[in-house]
Amino acid sequence: MLELNGLTRRYGSNLAVADVDLKVEMGAFVGVIGRSGAGKSTLLRMINRLSAPSAGTIRFDGRDVGALKGAALRAWRADCAMIFQQFNLIGRLDVLTNVLMGRLSHASAMRSLLRLWSDVDRAIAFVALEQFDIAHLASERAENLSGGQQQRVAIARALVQEPQIILADEPIASLDPRNTRVVMDALGAINRRYGITVLCNLHSLDLARSYCDRLVGMAAGRVVFDGAPRDLTDDVARALYGIEADDAAGERQAAPEPRSPALARAVAVA
Amino acid sequence: MKGPVPSVRADAVADMARLMAAYPAGFGNRRRAAGLLLLAAAVGLFTGFAMWRLDFSLARILSGLGRLADFSLMMFPPSAGGRFWIYLQSLGETVAIAFLGTLSAALLAFPFSFLAAKNVIPNVFVHFGARRVLDVIRGVDTLIWALLWVSVVGLGPFAGLLAIACSDFGALGKLFSEAIETADRRPVDGVASSGGSRMQQVRFGVLPQVLPVIGGQCLYYFESNTRSATIIGIVGAGGIGVHLAEQIRVLNLQDVSFLVLMILAAVTVIDVVSTRLRTALVGRRAAPLG
Protein backbone atom coordinates (compact mmCIF):
# COMPACT_ATOMS: atom_id res chain seq x y z
CA MET A 1 0.00 0.00 0.00
CA LEU A 2 1.18 3.50 -0.89
CA GLU A 3 0.69 6.04 1.89
CA LEU A 4 1.25 9.77 1.64
CA ASN A 5 1.19 11.78 4.86
CA GLY A 6 1.18 15.57 4.94
CA LEU A 7 3.04 15.66 1.63
CA THR A 8 3.93 19.23 0.72
CA ARG A 9 5.98 20.92 -1.98
CA ARG A 10 6.84 24.60 -2.01
CA TYR A 11 8.30 26.58 -4.91
CA GLY A 12 9.42 29.81 -3.30
CA SER A 13 6.30 31.19 -1.64
CA ASN A 14 4.15 29.08 -3.96
CA LEU A 15 2.51 25.93 -2.56
CA ALA A 16 2.32 23.41 -5.42
CA VAL A 17 1.18 20.54 -3.20
CA ALA A 18 -0.19 21.28 0.25
CA ASP A 19 -0.48 18.73 3.03
CA VAL A 20 -1.75 15.78 0.99
CA ASP A 21 -2.82 12.61 2.83
CA LEU A 22 -3.59 9.67 0.58
CA LYS A 23 -3.75 5.89 0.81
CA VAL A 24 -3.67 3.82 -2.36
CA GLU A 25 -4.47 0.09 -2.25
CA MET A 26 -2.46 -2.16 -4.56
CA GLY A 27 -4.16 -3.06 -7.81
CA ALA A 28 -6.31 0.07 -7.95
CA PHE A 29 -6.74 2.35 -10.95
CA VAL A 30 -6.79 5.80 -9.41
CA GLY A 31 -7.47 8.97 -11.41
CA VAL A 32 -6.08 12.24 -10.09
CA ILE A 33 -8.20 15.05 -11.50
CA GLY A 34 -8.15 18.82 -11.32
CA ARG A 35 -7.29 21.79 -13.46
CA SER A 36 -3.80 22.70 -14.70
CA GLY A 37 -1.59 23.91 -11.89
CA ALA A 38 -3.56 22.07 -9.20
CA GLY A 39 -0.44 20.15 -8.18
CA LYS A 40 -1.18 16.82 -9.87
CA SER A 41 2.14 16.56 -11.74
CA THR A 42 4.16 17.63 -8.72
CA LEU A 43 2.38 14.99 -6.63
CA LEU A 44 3.29 12.18 -9.06
CA ARG A 45 6.85 13.47 -9.48
CA MET A 46 7.33 13.43 -5.72
CA ILE A 47 6.18 9.82 -5.46
CA ASN A 48 8.82 8.85 -8.05
CA ARG A 49 11.23 11.17 -6.18
CA LEU A 50 11.92 13.23 -9.34
CA SER A 51 10.98 16.17 -7.11
CA ALA A 52 11.94 16.29 -3.46
CA PRO A 53 9.09 16.89 -0.97
CA SER A 54 9.37 20.02 1.18
CA ALA A 55 7.56 18.23 4.01
CA GLY A 56 5.64 15.03 4.69
CA THR A 57 6.33 11.35 4.15
CA ILE A 58 5.86 8.78 1.39
CA ARG A 59 5.56 5.19 2.55
CA PHE A 60 5.27 2.04 0.49
CA ASP A 61 4.37 -1.15 2.38
CA GLY A 62 5.58 0.58 5.51
CA ARG A 63 8.97 1.51 4.02
CA ASP A 64 9.92 5.21 4.07
CA VAL A 65 10.43 5.96 0.37
CA GLY A 66 11.28 9.61 1.03
CA ALA A 67 14.53 8.66 2.79
CA LEU A 68 15.92 6.34 0.09
CA LYS A 69 19.29 7.08 -1.47
CA GLY A 70 21.57 5.65 -4.15
CA ALA A 71 20.84 2.11 -5.32
CA ALA A 72 17.76 1.79 -3.08
CA LEU A 73 16.31 4.98 -4.60
CA ARG A 74 16.96 3.70 -8.13
CA ALA A 75 15.28 0.40 -7.23
CA TRP A 76 12.25 2.34 -5.96
CA ARG A 77 12.09 4.33 -9.18
CA ALA A 78 12.13 1.09 -11.17
CA ASP A 79 9.29 -0.04 -8.91
CA CYS A 80 7.07 2.95 -9.69
CA ALA A 81 7.33 3.56 -13.42
CA MET A 82 6.58 7.00 -14.79
CA ILE A 83 4.71 7.92 -17.98
CA PHE A 84 4.94 11.51 -19.17
CA GLN A 85 2.71 13.81 -21.18
CA GLN A 86 5.49 14.45 -23.70
CA PHE A 87 6.51 10.73 -23.71
CA ASN A 88 10.17 11.54 -22.76
CA LEU A 89 11.60 8.96 -25.13
CA ILE A 90 15.13 9.16 -26.51
CA GLY A 91 14.22 10.38 -29.98
CA ARG A 92 17.44 9.39 -31.70
CA LEU A 93 17.46 5.79 -30.47
CA ASP A 94 15.34 2.94 -31.83
CA VAL A 95 12.10 1.79 -30.22
CA LEU A 96 13.57 -1.47 -28.88
CA THR A 97 16.37 0.35 -27.06
CA ASN A 98 13.88 2.84 -25.67
CA VAL A 99 11.81 0.00 -24.23
CA LEU A 100 14.94 -1.71 -22.89
CA MET A 101 15.60 1.45 -20.84
CA GLY A 102 13.00 -0.09 -18.56
CA ARG A 103 15.39 -3.02 -17.95
CA LEU A 104 18.30 -0.80 -16.85
CA SER A 105 17.88 -1.56 -13.18
CA HIS A 106 17.94 -5.32 -13.94
CA ALA A 107 20.93 -5.33 -16.34
CA SER A 108 24.59 -5.05 -15.37
CA ALA A 109 26.20 -1.66 -15.93
CA MET A 110 28.72 -2.93 -18.48
CA ARG A 111 26.14 -4.80 -20.55
CA SER A 112 23.70 -1.90 -20.63
CA LEU A 113 26.30 0.74 -21.46
CA LEU A 114 27.50 -1.32 -24.44
CA ARG A 115 23.87 -2.14 -25.30
CA LEU A 116 24.56 -5.89 -25.10
CA TRP A 117 21.15 -6.82 -23.66
CA SER A 118 20.39 -10.38 -22.65
CA ASP A 119 17.93 -12.36 -24.78
CA VAL A 120 15.47 -12.56 -21.87
CA ASP A 121 15.44 -8.76 -21.60
CA ARG A 122 14.90 -8.50 -25.34
CA ALA A 123 12.05 -11.03 -25.19
CA ILE A 124 10.43 -9.06 -22.37
CA ALA A 125 10.63 -5.91 -24.47
CA PHE A 126 9.00 -7.67 -27.43
CA VAL A 127 6.21 -9.09 -25.26
CA ALA A 128 5.43 -5.56 -24.08
CA LEU A 129 5.61 -4.13 -27.62
CA GLU A 130 3.34 -6.90 -28.96
CA GLN A 131 0.70 -6.15 -26.35
CA PHE A 132 0.38 -2.65 -27.76
CA ASP A 133 0.65 -3.77 -31.43
CA ILE A 134 3.88 -1.92 -32.13
CA ALA A 135 6.41 -4.80 -32.24
CA HIS A 136 6.88 -4.24 -35.99
CA LEU A 137 8.23 -0.74 -35.21
CA ALA A 138 11.03 -2.08 -32.98
CA SER A 139 13.86 -0.90 -35.22
CA GLU A 140 12.34 2.51 -36.04
CA ARG A 141 13.76 5.68 -34.54
CA ALA A 142 11.45 6.77 -31.72
CA GLU A 143 11.23 10.36 -33.01
CA ASN A 144 9.76 9.17 -36.33
CA LEU A 145 6.69 7.67 -34.65
CA SER A 146 3.32 9.36 -34.21
CA GLY A 147 2.32 10.66 -30.81
CA GLY A 148 0.06 7.71 -30.04
CA GLN A 149 2.76 5.23 -31.01
CA GLN A 150 5.37 7.07 -28.94
CA GLN A 151 3.14 6.98 -25.89
CA ARG A 152 2.62 3.24 -26.35
CA VAL A 153 6.42 2.82 -26.50
CA ALA A 154 6.60 4.79 -23.25
CA ILE A 155 4.00 2.50 -21.65
CA ALA A 156 5.95 -0.54 -22.86
CA ARG A 157 9.06 0.94 -21.25
CA ALA A 158 7.13 1.34 -18.01
CA LEU A 159 5.75 -2.22 -18.21
CA VAL A 160 9.14 -3.93 -18.70
CA GLN A 161 10.34 -2.30 -15.50
CA GLU A 162 8.02 -4.85 -13.84
CA PRO A 163 6.79 -2.07 -11.56
CA GLN A 164 4.31 -2.27 -8.71
CA ILE A 165 2.91 1.16 -9.54
CA ILE A 166 2.63 3.12 -12.77
CA LEU A 167 2.47 6.89 -12.42
CA ALA A 168 0.98 8.41 -15.56
CA ASP A 169 1.25 12.20 -15.79
CA GLU A 170 -1.39 13.44 -18.26
CA PRO A 171 -0.55 10.55 -20.62
CA ILE A 172 -3.18 11.53 -23.19
CA ALA A 173 -3.02 15.32 -23.08
CA SER A 174 -1.18 15.59 -26.43
CA LEU A 175 -3.11 12.85 -28.24
CA ASP A 176 -6.18 12.75 -30.49
CA PRO A 177 -9.41 11.03 -29.32
CA ARG A 178 -8.67 7.69 -31.00
CA ASN A 179 -5.15 7.46 -29.58
CA THR A 180 -6.51 8.62 -26.25
CA ARG A 181 -8.67 5.50 -26.14
CA VAL A 182 -5.83 3.26 -27.32
CA VAL A 183 -3.47 4.56 -24.62
CA MET A 184 -6.04 4.48 -21.81
CA ASP A 185 -7.05 0.94 -22.84
CA ALA A 186 -3.38 -0.05 -22.69
CA LEU A 187 -3.11 1.29 -19.14
CA GLY A 188 -6.32 -0.49 -18.19
CA ALA A 189 -5.07 -3.76 -19.67
CA ILE A 190 -1.83 -3.61 -17.68
CA ASN A 191 -3.79 -2.82 -14.54
CA ARG A 192 -6.06 -5.84 -14.98
CA ARG A 193 -3.63 -8.42 -16.35
CA TYR A 194 -0.61 -7.76 -14.14
CA GLY A 195 -2.35 -6.16 -11.18
CA ILE A 196 -0.13 -3.11 -11.45
CA THR A 197 -1.50 -0.13 -9.54
CA VAL A 198 -2.07 2.87 -11.80
CA LEU A 199 -2.10 6.48 -10.65
CA CYS A 200 -3.15 8.59 -13.59
CA ASN A 201 -3.42 12.38 -13.86
CA LEU A 202 -6.31 13.36 -16.08
CA HIS A 203 -7.98 16.51 -17.29
CA SER A 204 -11.10 14.97 -18.70
CA LEU A 205 -13.81 13.92 -16.27
CA ASP A 206 -15.42 11.63 -18.86
CA LEU A 207 -12.24 9.60 -19.21
CA ALA A 208 -11.65 9.58 -15.49
CA ARG A 209 -15.19 8.29 -14.88
CA SER A 210 -14.96 5.51 -17.44
CA TYR A 211 -11.47 4.16 -16.67
CA CYS A 212 -10.81 4.74 -12.97
CA ASP A 213 -12.27 2.92 -9.99
CA ARG A 214 -11.40 5.75 -7.66
CA LEU A 215 -10.99 9.49 -8.19
CA VAL A 216 -8.89 11.98 -6.25
CA GLY A 217 -9.71 15.62 -6.98
CA MET A 218 -7.10 18.29 -6.37
CA ALA A 219 -7.42 22.07 -6.31
CA ALA A 220 -4.69 24.53 -5.36
CA GLY A 221 -2.44 21.72 -4.15
CA ARG A 222 -5.02 20.17 -1.79
CA VAL A 223 -7.11 17.03 -2.05
CA VAL A 224 -10.73 18.25 -2.20
CA PHE A 225 -12.42 15.05 -3.32
CA ASP A 226 -11.70 11.37 -2.77
CA GLY A 227 -14.20 8.72 -3.70
CA ALA A 228 -15.79 6.50 -6.33
CA PRO A 229 -16.52 8.00 -9.77
CA ARG A 230 -20.29 7.86 -9.16
CA ASP A 231 -19.90 10.07 -6.07
CA LEU A 232 -18.44 12.83 -8.21
CA THR A 233 -21.55 14.98 -8.60
CA ASP A 234 -21.81 18.00 -10.87
CA ASP A 235 -21.51 20.26 -7.84
CA VAL A 236 -18.21 18.66 -6.85
CA ALA A 237 -16.99 18.92 -10.42
CA ARG A 238 -17.89 22.60 -10.52
CA ALA A 239 -15.97 23.17 -7.30
CA LEU A 240 -12.98 21.37 -8.78
CA TYR A 241 -12.92 23.06 -12.13
CA GLY A 242 -14.79 26.32 -11.53
CA ILE A 243 -16.41 27.57 -14.73
CA GLU A 244 -14.50 24.97 -16.71
CA ALA A 245 -16.65 22.20 -15.27
CA ASP A 246 -18.90 21.92 -18.31
CA ASP A 247 -15.92 21.87 -20.65
CA ALA A 248 -14.19 19.21 -18.61
CA ALA A 249 -17.32 17.10 -18.44
CA GLY A 250 -17.79 17.57 -22.17
CA GLU A 251 -21.54 17.55 -21.75
CA ARG A 252 -23.04 20.77 -23.01
CA GLN A 253 -21.93 21.49 -26.54
CA ALA A 254 -24.14 24.58 -27.06
CA ALA A 255 -22.52 27.59 -28.69
CA PRO A 256 -21.75 30.43 -26.28
CA GLU A 257 -24.04 33.41 -26.35
CA PRO A 258 -22.67 36.29 -28.39
CA ARG A 259 -21.40 39.00 -26.09
CA SER A 260 -21.30 42.25 -28.05
CA PRO A 261 -24.52 43.82 -29.38
CA ALA A 262 -22.98 44.18 -32.85
CA LEU A 263 -22.18 40.49 -32.93
CA ALA A 264 -25.63 39.59 -31.64
CA ARG A 265 -27.16 41.64 -34.48
CA ALA A 266 -24.92 39.95 -37.00
CA VAL A 267 -26.00 36.56 -35.71
CA ALA A 268 -29.65 37.58 -35.79
CA VAL A 269 -29.33 38.81 -39.40
CA ALA A 270 -27.61 35.60 -40.42
CA MET B 1 -6.16 -17.15 -13.53
CA LYS B 2 -4.23 -20.10 -12.11
CA GLY B 3 -0.53 -20.71 -11.64
CA PRO B 4 2.06 -18.05 -10.85
CA VAL B 5 1.24 -14.34 -10.79
CA PRO B 6 1.28 -13.04 -14.36
CA SER B 7 4.26 -10.84 -15.21
CA VAL B 8 5.88 -9.71 -18.42
CA ARG B 9 8.94 -11.72 -17.54
CA ALA B 10 6.91 -14.92 -17.18
CA ASP B 11 5.11 -14.15 -20.45
CA ALA B 12 8.42 -13.57 -22.19
CA VAL B 13 10.11 -16.70 -20.89
CA ALA B 14 7.10 -18.85 -21.82
CA ASP B 15 7.02 -17.39 -25.31
CA MET B 16 10.77 -17.10 -25.89
CA ALA B 17 11.08 -19.46 -28.87
CA ARG B 18 8.26 -17.87 -30.84
CA LEU B 19 9.52 -14.33 -30.13
CA MET B 20 13.04 -15.16 -31.26
CA ALA B 21 11.68 -16.68 -34.47
CA ALA B 22 9.32 -13.77 -35.10
CA TYR B 23 11.86 -10.98 -34.53
CA PRO B 24 15.28 -12.40 -35.41
CA ALA B 25 16.71 -8.91 -35.94
CA GLY B 26 15.86 -7.93 -32.39
CA PHE B 27 17.83 -10.72 -30.73
CA GLY B 28 21.43 -11.72 -30.29
CA ASN B 29 24.45 -9.64 -29.38
CA ARG B 30 26.93 -11.50 -31.56
CA ARG B 31 27.01 -8.93 -34.36
CA ARG B 32 27.14 -5.98 -32.04
CA ALA B 33 29.83 -7.58 -29.85
CA ALA B 34 31.85 -8.46 -32.97
CA GLY B 35 31.53 -4.88 -34.19
CA LEU B 36 32.67 -3.48 -30.87
CA LEU B 37 35.63 -5.88 -30.75
CA LEU B 38 36.62 -4.99 -34.31
CA LEU B 39 36.46 -1.29 -33.47
CA ALA B 40 38.57 -1.78 -30.34
CA ALA B 41 41.11 -3.80 -32.35
CA ALA B 42 41.30 -1.16 -35.08
CA VAL B 43 41.82 1.67 -32.60
CA GLY B 44 44.43 -0.42 -30.76
CA LEU B 45 46.30 -1.25 -33.97
CA PHE B 46 46.33 2.35 -35.16
CA THR B 47 47.51 3.58 -31.74
CA GLY B 48 50.31 1.02 -31.78
CA PHE B 49 51.37 1.96 -35.30
CA ALA B 50 51.33 5.70 -34.54
CA MET B 51 53.39 5.19 -31.37
CA TRP B 52 55.94 3.09 -33.24
CA ARG B 53 56.11 5.61 -36.10
CA LEU B 54 56.53 8.57 -33.72
CA ASP B 55 59.27 6.87 -31.70
CA PHE B 56 57.23 6.73 -28.53
CA SER B 57 59.46 5.46 -25.80
CA LEU B 58 58.65 5.13 -22.13
CA ALA B 59 62.35 4.71 -21.35
CA ARG B 60 63.10 8.19 -22.68
CA ILE B 61 60.35 9.72 -20.58
CA LEU B 62 61.69 7.97 -17.48
CA SER B 63 65.29 8.95 -18.08
CA GLY B 64 64.19 12.53 -18.77
CA LEU B 65 62.22 12.73 -15.55
CA GLY B 66 65.39 13.65 -13.65
CA ARG B 67 65.93 16.70 -15.84
CA LEU B 68 62.28 17.65 -15.41
CA ALA B 69 62.87 17.63 -11.65
CA ASP B 70 65.97 19.85 -12.08
CA PHE B 71 63.95 22.28 -14.16
CA SER B 72 61.15 22.36 -11.63
CA LEU B 73 63.59 23.03 -8.80
CA MET B 74 65.07 25.95 -10.72
CA MET B 75 61.58 27.45 -10.90
CA PHE B 76 61.40 27.73 -7.11
CA PRO B 77 60.60 30.05 -5.57
CA PRO B 78 58.70 32.06 -8.21
CA SER B 79 59.98 35.61 -8.22
CA ALA B 80 59.33 38.70 -10.28
CA GLY B 81 62.87 39.92 -9.72
CA GLY B 82 61.64 43.51 -9.23
CA ARG B 83 59.84 43.58 -12.57
CA PHE B 84 56.35 42.95 -11.15
CA TRP B 85 54.81 46.21 -12.41
CA ILE B 86 56.20 45.70 -15.91
CA TYR B 87 54.80 42.17 -15.93
CA LEU B 88 51.42 43.31 -14.63
CA GLN B 89 51.22 45.94 -17.34
CA SER B 90 52.01 43.32 -20.00
CA LEU B 91 49.41 40.99 -18.53
CA GLY B 92 46.88 43.81 -18.87
CA GLU B 93 47.99 44.20 -22.47
CA THR B 94 47.49 40.47 -23.07
CA VAL B 95 43.98 40.56 -21.59
CA ALA B 96 43.22 43.62 -23.73
CA ILE B 97 44.48 41.86 -26.87
CA ALA B 98 42.36 38.81 -26.08
CA PHE B 99 39.28 40.90 -25.27
CA LEU B 100 39.40 43.15 -28.33
CA GLY B 101 40.46 40.27 -30.58
CA THR B 102 37.60 38.03 -29.43
CA LEU B 103 35.10 40.90 -29.57
CA SER B 104 35.96 41.85 -33.14
CA ALA B 105 36.07 38.19 -34.20
CA ALA B 106 32.63 37.60 -32.66
CA LEU B 107 31.16 40.77 -34.19
CA LEU B 108 32.38 39.70 -37.63
CA ALA B 109 31.46 36.04 -37.20
CA PHE B 110 27.95 36.68 -35.89
CA PRO B 111 26.34 37.99 -39.10
CA PHE B 112 28.55 35.80 -41.28
CA SER B 113 27.54 32.60 -39.43
CA PHE B 114 23.91 33.07 -40.51
CA LEU B 115 25.09 33.00 -44.12
CA ALA B 116 26.84 29.70 -43.41
CA ALA B 117 23.81 28.08 -41.73
CA LYS B 118 21.82 25.70 -43.92
CA ASN B 119 18.52 26.34 -42.17
CA VAL B 120 18.77 30.13 -42.58
CA ILE B 121 20.18 30.27 -46.12
CA PRO B 122 18.78 27.33 -48.07
CA ASN B 123 20.74 28.45 -51.16
CA VAL B 124 23.52 25.89 -51.42
CA PHE B 125 25.99 28.19 -53.18
CA VAL B 126 25.80 30.89 -50.53
CA HIS B 127 26.16 28.69 -47.47
CA PHE B 128 28.69 26.41 -49.14
CA GLY B 129 30.74 29.46 -50.19
CA ALA B 130 30.49 31.03 -46.74
CA ARG B 131 31.65 27.75 -45.17
CA ARG B 132 34.70 27.51 -47.40
CA VAL B 133 35.65 31.13 -46.59
CA LEU B 134 35.54 30.23 -42.89
CA ASP B 135 37.54 27.04 -43.58
CA VAL B 136 40.30 28.94 -45.34
CA ILE B 137 40.57 31.55 -42.60
CA ARG B 138 40.52 28.89 -39.91
CA GLY B 139 43.08 26.80 -41.80
CA VAL B 140 45.72 29.42 -41.04
CA ASP B 141 46.77 29.17 -37.40
CA THR B 142 46.76 32.13 -34.99
CA LEU B 143 50.55 32.01 -34.82
CA ILE B 144 50.88 32.34 -38.62
CA TRP B 145 48.36 35.19 -38.62
CA ALA B 146 50.48 36.88 -35.94
CA LEU B 147 53.68 36.56 -38.03
CA LEU B 148 51.75 37.91 -41.00
CA TRP B 149 50.34 40.93 -39.19
CA VAL B 150 53.66 41.70 -37.48
CA SER B 151 55.20 42.09 -40.91
CA VAL B 152 52.28 44.27 -42.04
CA VAL B 153 51.66 46.61 -39.08
CA GLY B 154 54.93 46.09 -37.21
CA LEU B 155 55.71 44.63 -33.77
CA GLY B 156 53.30 45.22 -30.90
CA PRO B 157 49.89 44.42 -29.47
CA PHE B 158 47.98 45.74 -32.50
CA ALA B 159 49.37 42.88 -34.60
CA GLY B 160 48.33 40.41 -31.88
CA LEU B 161 44.80 41.77 -31.82
CA LEU B 162 44.48 41.44 -35.60
CA ALA B 163 45.86 37.90 -35.49
CA ILE B 164 43.29 36.77 -32.93
CA ALA B 165 40.44 38.58 -34.69
CA CYS B 166 41.30 36.83 -37.98
CA SER B 167 41.80 33.26 -36.83
CA ASP B 168 38.86 33.31 -34.41
CA PHE B 169 36.56 34.79 -37.01
CA GLY B 170 36.95 31.44 -38.77
CA ALA B 171 36.53 29.35 -35.65
CA LEU B 172 33.62 31.26 -34.13
CA GLY B 173 31.88 31.53 -37.50
CA LYS B 174 31.89 27.74 -37.77
CA LEU B 175 30.74 27.18 -34.18
CA PHE B 176 27.98 29.81 -34.42
CA SER B 177 26.64 28.43 -37.70
CA GLU B 178 26.55 24.91 -36.23
CA ALA B 179 24.66 26.19 -33.19
CA ILE B 180 22.20 27.91 -35.53
CA GLU B 181 21.72 24.70 -37.52
CA THR B 182 20.82 22.65 -34.44
CA ALA B 183 18.14 25.19 -33.44
CA ASP B 184 14.63 23.79 -33.11
CA ARG B 185 12.43 24.52 -36.13
CA ARG B 186 9.15 24.77 -34.24
CA PRO B 187 9.56 28.33 -32.88
CA VAL B 188 10.49 29.42 -36.43
CA ASP B 189 7.27 27.86 -37.74
CA GLY B 190 5.39 29.67 -35.00
CA VAL B 191 6.74 33.06 -36.06
CA ALA B 192 6.27 32.28 -39.76
CA SER B 193 2.67 31.17 -39.20
CA SER B 194 1.83 34.53 -37.67
CA GLY B 195 3.11 36.32 -40.78
CA GLY B 196 6.71 37.03 -39.76
CA SER B 197 9.25 37.80 -42.49
CA ARG B 198 12.37 35.69 -42.98
CA MET B 199 14.35 38.28 -41.01
CA GLN B 200 11.79 38.25 -38.17
CA GLN B 201 11.78 34.44 -38.14
CA VAL B 202 15.53 34.44 -37.59
CA ARG B 203 15.35 37.26 -35.07
CA PHE B 204 12.60 35.74 -32.89
CA GLY B 205 12.60 32.03 -33.85
CA VAL B 206 16.32 31.29 -33.97
CA LEU B 207 18.18 34.00 -32.08
CA PRO B 208 16.71 33.45 -28.59
CA GLN B 209 17.60 29.76 -28.87
CA VAL B 210 21.21 30.22 -29.96
CA LEU B 211 22.17 33.32 -27.98
CA PRO B 212 23.14 31.47 -24.79
CA VAL B 213 25.29 29.02 -26.79
CA ILE B 214 26.96 31.78 -28.78
CA GLY B 215 27.55 33.85 -25.66
CA GLY B 216 29.12 30.88 -23.90
CA GLN B 217 31.41 30.21 -26.85
CA CYS B 218 32.53 33.86 -26.95
CA LEU B 219 33.34 33.80 -23.25
CA TYR B 220 35.31 30.59 -23.60
CA TYR B 221 37.24 32.05 -26.54
CA PHE B 222 38.07 35.15 -24.50
CA GLU B 223 39.54 32.91 -21.81
CA SER B 224 41.34 30.68 -24.30
CA ASN B 225 42.72 33.71 -26.14
CA THR B 226 44.18 35.08 -22.93
CA ARG B 227 46.27 31.92 -22.94
CA SER B 228 47.10 31.94 -26.65
CA ALA B 229 47.87 35.68 -26.54
CA THR B 230 50.93 34.70 -24.50
CA ILE B 231 52.12 32.51 -27.38
CA ILE B 232 51.46 35.29 -29.85
CA GLY B 233 53.65 37.48 -27.67
CA ILE B 234 56.52 35.08 -28.29
CA VAL B 235 56.58 36.07 -31.98
CA GLY B 236 56.64 39.73 -31.02
CA ALA B 237 52.99 40.63 -31.16
CA GLY B 238 52.91 42.22 -27.71
CA GLY B 239 51.68 41.22 -24.27
CA ILE B 240 53.10 39.07 -21.52
CA GLY B 241 54.37 36.49 -24.01
CA VAL B 242 57.26 38.76 -24.93
CA HIS B 243 58.60 38.57 -21.38
CA LEU B 244 57.87 34.86 -21.17
CA ALA B 245 59.91 34.16 -24.31
CA GLU B 246 62.76 36.36 -23.11
CA GLN B 247 63.01 34.81 -19.64
CA ILE B 248 62.90 31.28 -21.07
CA ARG B 249 65.71 32.16 -23.47
CA VAL B 250 67.98 33.37 -20.65
CA LEU B 251 66.89 30.42 -18.45
CA ASN B 252 65.60 32.73 -15.75
CA LEU B 253 63.16 30.08 -14.62
CA GLN B 254 62.05 31.77 -11.39
CA ASP B 255 60.62 34.59 -13.48
CA VAL B 256 59.07 32.07 -15.88
CA SER B 257 57.17 30.35 -13.08
CA PHE B 258 56.06 33.74 -11.77
CA LEU B 259 54.74 34.73 -15.19
CA VAL B 260 52.94 31.39 -15.54
CA LEU B 261 51.29 31.91 -12.16
CA MET B 262 50.17 35.40 -13.21
CA ILE B 263 48.59 34.02 -16.39
CA LEU B 264 46.94 31.28 -14.36
CA ALA B 265 45.45 33.85 -11.98
CA ALA B 266 44.14 35.94 -14.88
CA VAL B 267 42.56 32.90 -16.55
CA THR B 268 40.94 31.85 -13.27
CA VAL B 269 39.45 35.31 -12.76
CA ILE B 270 38.11 35.33 -16.33
CA ASP B 271 36.65 31.85 -15.83
CA VAL B 272 34.85 32.84 -12.64
CA VAL B 273 33.44 36.00 -14.21
CA SER B 274 32.38 34.24 -17.41
CA THR B 275 30.63 31.47 -15.47
CA ARG B 276 28.53 34.16 -13.77
CA LEU B 277 27.83 35.88 -17.07
CA ARG B 278 26.83 32.64 -18.76
CA THR B 279 24.41 31.73 -15.96
CA ALA B 280 22.82 35.16 -16.35
CA LEU B 281 22.62 34.67 -20.12
CA VAL B 282 20.97 31.24 -19.93
CA GLY B 283 18.60 32.53 -17.29
CA ARG B 284 16.92 30.63 -14.52
CA ARG B 285 14.12 28.30 -15.41
CA ALA B 286 10.80 28.92 -13.76
CA ALA B 287 9.68 26.32 -11.25
CA PRO B 288 7.54 23.62 -12.88
CA LEU B 289 3.84 23.84 -12.13
CA GLY B 290 1.70 20.98 -10.89
Put simply, the answer to whether A127 touches B19 (Cβ < 8 Å) is yes
Put simply, the answer to whether B15 touches A40 (Cβ < 8 Å) is no
Residue A6 confidence (pLDDT): 93
Judging by beta carbons within 10 Å of its beta carbon (0-12, 13-18, 19+), is residue A249 exposed, middle or buried? middle
| Residues B107 and B231 occupy one common structural domain | yes
Q: Answer whether residue B65 shows pLDDT above 90.
A: no
Average pLDDT over residues B252-279: 89
CB A149 within 8 A of CB A142: no
ipTM value, please give it: 0.75
Put simply, the answer to whether B8 touches A43 (Cβ < 8 Å) is no
| Residues B104 and B142 occupy one common structural domain | yes
Considering Cα of B51, then B55, then B60, then B64, what sign does the dihedral take? negative
Give the number of domains in chain B. 2
| Residues B168 and B45 occupy one common structural domain | no
| Residues B171 and B250 occupy one common structural domain | yes
Put simply, the answer to whether A120 touches B287 (Cβ < 8 Å) is no
Average pLDDT over residues A116-120: 91
Chain A contact present for B18, CB below 8 A: no
Residue A41 confidence (pLDDT): 92
Residue from A98, A84, A87, A102 nearest A200 by CA: A84
| Residues B198 and B136 occupy one common structural domain | yes
| Residues B218 and B123 occupy one common structural domain | yes
CB A207 within 8 A of CB A182: no
Residue B290 confidence (pLDDT): 41
| Residues B136 and B214 occupy one common structural domain | yes
| Residues B52 and B173 occupy one common structural domain | no
Q: Answer whether residue B133 shows pLDDT above 80.
A: yes
Give residue-wise pLDDT tens across range A175-232. 888 999 999 999 999 999 999 999 999 988 888 999 999 999 998 899 989 999 888 8
Domain boundaries defined on chain A: 2-241
pLDDT bracket for residue B179 (50, 70, 90): very high
> Minimal Cα distance from A96: which residue of B?
B26
Put simply, the answer to whether A162 touches B20 (Cβ < 8 Å) is no
Judging by beta carbons within 10 Å of its beta carbon (0-12, 13-18, 19+), is residue B216 exposed, middle or buried? middle
Amino acid at A149: Q
Q: Answer whether residue B289 shows pLDDT above 60.
A: no
Question: Residue B198: inside a domain, yes or no?
Answer: yes
Q: What domain range is B43 assigned to?
A: 4-56
**Alpha-helix runs per DSSP H in chain A:** 40-47, 70-79, 95-100, 109-113, 119-131, 147-160, 177-194, 205-211, 234-241, 245-249, 261-269
Q: Answer whether residue A262 shows pLDDT above 70.
A: no
Mean pLDDT for chain B overall: 87
The better pLDDT of the pair A212, B1 is held by A212
| Residues B153 and B244 occupy one common structural domain | yes
List all residues of chain B from 26 to 45 with a beta carbon under 8 Å from chain A: 26-29, 32-33, 36
Considering Cα of A250, then A252, then A257, then A258, what sign does the dihedral take? positive
Question: Residue B90: inside a domain, yes or no?
Answer: yes
**Rounded-to-integer distance, Cα B59 and Cα A118, Å:** 45
pTM for this structure? 0.76
Question: Residue B12: inside a domain, yes or no?
Answer: yes
CA distance A268 to chain B (A): 32
**Rounded-to-integer distance, Cα B48 and Cα B243, Å:** 40
- Measure CB to CB from residue A16 to each of B23, B36, B290 and give the nearest one: B290
| Residues B181 and B247 occupy one common structural domain | yes
Put simply, the answer to whether B290 touches A126 (Cβ < 8 Å) is no
Residue B230 confidence (pLDDT): 72
- Measure CB to CB from residue B19 to each of A41, A96, A123 and give the nearest one: A123
- Measure CB to CB from residue B290 to each of A42, A116, A193 and give the nearest one: A42
Give residue-wise pLDDT tens across range A252-261. 444 455 555 5
* Domain A2-241: CATH class, spelled out: alpha beta
Give residue-wise pLDDT tens across range B75-123. 788 887 788 899 999 899 889 989 999 999 999 999 999 999 988 888 8
Residue A266 confidence (pLDDT): 56
Which residues in chain B touch residue A11, judged by CB atoms under 8 angstroms apart? 287-288
Give residue-wise pLDDT tens across range A11-27. 888 889 999 999 999 99
Question: Residue B76: inside a domain, yes or no?
Answer: no
CATH of residue B278? 1.10.3720.10
Put simply, the answer to whether A194 touches B6 (Cβ < 8 Å) is yes
| Residues B201 and B123 occupy one common structural domain | yes
Put simply, the answer to whether B289 touches A36 (Cβ < 8 Å) is yes
